[in-house]
Chain A
Amino acid sequence: MIKVLAHLDGVSVTHRADGKTTAALEAVDLDIISGERLAIIGESGSGKSTLALALAGLLPDNADVTGRIRWPALGHTPLPGRDIGFVFQDAGASLNPVLTVGEQIAEVAQAHLGIGWYEAYGHALRLLERVHIPQPEAALGAYPHQLSGGQRQRVCIASAIAARPKLLIADEPTSALDMVVQAEIVALLQELVREDGMTLVFITHDIALASGFADRIAVFRKARLVEIGPREKVLAHPRDAYTASLIASHIDLHSPPLIDEAA
């Protein structure tokens, strides 16, 4: 049976700054299904990150929210960090530079799982193994700046899943990484979501990246949800002209070259 994890009903978000208000999200109706992998696609200013922050209850103080978000499958308002894990684009800025990798992951586990520090630290080691950090024992004592960008993002993912959240929100988690590392991180997220039965909301500007694993695709533009549906349907038969233009703008190795290649 389909269980709705989050039910968004007419959710609007406006930001106040310098006496002006701007609409970041306008009247969004959306259900997030338990266990699904939902891709949120959009370009700059589409509202895709605002949606993620609204779901997680992490909007800044100058944001006004109207409409309702209900959590039928949870039965209560989610607690960020425990019920919702969040992975951001900038792994370097997400981590505390003066805590070791082990300390920051253990901190999350201790705060949300009601376990002691010693146990939490052991939990951190197992999480580093799960996110395939090379030499996990050594990595426990490393500081974020000693790791590569891809390894830092693995640590952020370990931290995000430390409290065994129902929902994992990844907001452009690979945009600051090169493509080879991007492919590894996407594979890792899929593996973890499958193993733990988490719901994944994956936010990206890259519709091709989403096409590789999403069950459903939602397309946002200028603060509005323009289209949502099963992946195959949205990609093969987009209802909205903007979705069609995103598909047409995609460049992969099968796209015809733009230059003349005579001789």
Chain B
Amino acid sequence: MNAPLLAATGISKTYANGSRRVAALDQASVAVTHGQTLGLVGSSGSGKSTLARILLRLIEPDAGRIDFAGVDLLSLRGEKLRAIRRHIQMVFQDPLSAFNPRATVGSALADPLRIHAIANPSELRAAVADLLERVGLGPALALRAIHEISGGQRQRVAIARAIATKPDLIVLDEALSALDVSVRGKILDLLVDLQREHGIAYIFVSHDLAVVRAISHRIAVMDAGQIVEHGPARDVVANPQSAAGRALVAAVPRLRLNA
């Protein structure tokens, strides 16, 4: 098999809480393949968001190694780190806090195009319209302020901003958790379409195993800072090997059509 797009090995991170040291991550290792989705699932405090932020280089780990497309990601500094950021994008739970709320949709999407020199100033407007279209939004939305549009539209704009730089990997941290179920389904379909079309890999972080299952090829289960289980999505869901995996499977509400 080909080398994975991203492989993180032995990632550890400890926080100080008063005089106590708390291990947020303890020797966590994950890998994601080109064009596929890795679901990262666990309860609150299991370390999944910390791991996601470390993979994005938003937090520095105490130990471990991350290989991304043949590059030692943790060794990068300055200009080289900035240059690789266009290849790893992110979408968070609360898009309102992920944007400057007074920015327009158009300027929020034009920024990455400009910063990473993906479009010339003369092409910006057309490039923004193209991005909006790819996430199922009309070009007129470019003139609206971020705070004026609905939560579902805002999350589509966040996805448009993430794909603007033509990334190889997008890390989505509880990206659908705040959305209504009817909107959530449409955004999931959008993510799957974008993956098929552009070959983007996702790391999809959530406490909701059912949604993780729907979109992931492989699933890693986290508990108390450790990866306690890691395998093909169908196997993890059908036959969880860890206590945390079994608890997550049992906790998914099942729609009971009959009493």
**Residues of A near any B CB (own CB < 8 A):** 43-44, 148-150, 177-183, 205-209, 211-212, 231-232, 235-236, 245-247, 249-255, 257-259, 261
Contacts and interface: CB of A to CB of B under 8 A. Distances in A.
Max chain A Cβ within 10 angstroms of own Cβ: one of B181, B182, B184, B211: B181
A182 B208 CA distance: 11
A22 to B, nearest CB: 15
Interface of B: 37, 43-45, 151, 180-182, 184-185, 188-189, 192, 195, 207-211, 213-217, 232-234, 237, 247-259
Nearest to A256: B214
Contact of B182 (A43, A177, A182, A253): A43
A215 to B, nearest CB: 10
Max chain B Cβ within 10 angstroms of own Cβ: one of A150, A207, A236, A249: A249
A183 B255 contact: no
Contacts of A250: 181, 255
A179 B45 CA distance: 13
11 contacts: A179-B43, A209-B253, A212-B256, A235-B255, A251-B211, A252-B210, A252-B253, A253-B252, A255-B214, A259-B195, A259-B215
Given A177-B44, A212-B256, A258 B214 contact: yes
A12 B211 CA distance: 36
Contact of A261 (B207, B234, B254): B234
Contact of A178 (B192, B207, B210): B207
Nearest to A150: B44
B181 A179 contact: no
By DSSP majority rule, is chain B's interface helix, strand, loop, or mixed?
A: helix
Contacts of B185: 249, 251
B198 to A, nearest CB: 14
A261 B217 contact: yes
A148 B254 CA distance: 26
A148 B45 CA distance: 10
Contact of A236 (B45, B209, B217, B258): B258
B182 A249 contact: yes
A235 B253 contact: no
B210 A251 contact: yes
Given A179-B207, A211-B256, A258 B44 contact: no
Nearest to A211: B256
Given A259-B37, A259-B215, A179 B182 contact: no
A178 B43 contact: yes
Contact of A205 (B180, B250, B252, B258): B180
Contacts of B247: 180
B216 A211 contact: no
List the 4 shortest-distance A-B pairs measured between CB atoms, nearest first: A178-B207, A43-B180, A208-B253, A208-B255
Given A206-B181, A208-B254, 8 more contacts: A148-B45, A178-B43, A183-B253, A211-B254, A211-B257, A212-B254, A250-B255, A251-B210
